[in-house]
Amino acid sequence: MNIIAKLLKSIISSDMYILIFGFITLYVVLKVNKLRNLVDNDIFDWEEKSDELSNNPEKNNKIFDSYKHLNRSYTVFITLISIFPLLGMFGTVIALLSIDMNDTAAINAAQSSFLDALTSTTWGIIFAVGYKIVNAYYFADVEDLIQRLLSLKKKLIKYGIDESLKNKSRWRI
């Protein structure tokens, strides 16, 4: 059995938790992409009319909320990337701990557990590298949008408008 077949077999059996975590991360990537596109469509208008923002609570709410959601989602995405190698190491430790070193037959059967240990590590690295490449694609764009939103947020605060006002009369989420 070649290495690719062994890896594919392991991802649907012993390393299923890494695959599930991969789908969760994919969901977060799609959310970041959606937020990035929404913010990108609105931000130019906000920057052009930033002097009028102090009189428009709806747009102000959208700026505060967009900043918070994009920043939070992107931070979660970056954090999830760093967890994949840890999941791989976790699988490695679990597989190695399952080896029974007291029995000669068990020592011969340890090859299977050792293979499971290596495939867990491999999948952790594969997903981490894959999503790190996705992160490289989004990084400059998202960081630029977050900085531009932060700049608009600072302008609103300079006008005396901050997120604590959203809970008062005209300010609604």
* Model confidence, pTM: 0.75
Greatest mean pLDDT among 5-14, 77-86, 103-112, 141-150 lies in 77-86
Q: What is the pLDDT of residues 31-76, one digit of tens each?
A: 998 988 888 777 777 767 666 655 667 777 777 787 788 889 999 9
Q: Which residue has the tokens 């608009």?
A: 152
pLDDT of 139 reads 87
Biggest alpha carbon distance in the chain? 79
Mean pLDDT across the stretch 111-118?
75
Q: Which residue has the tokens 């609103």?
A: 156
pLDDT at 29 over 90: yes
Greatest mean pLDDT among 25-29, 147-151, 158-162 lies in 25-29
Return d(Cα 87, Cα 124) in angstroms, integer.
6
Q: Which residue has the tokens 């630029």?
A: 144
Question: Is 78 in contact with 110 (CB distance < 8 Å)?
Answer: no
Q: Using the Cα atoms of residue 144, residue 23, residue 80 and residue 4 in order, give the sign of their dihedral.
A: negative
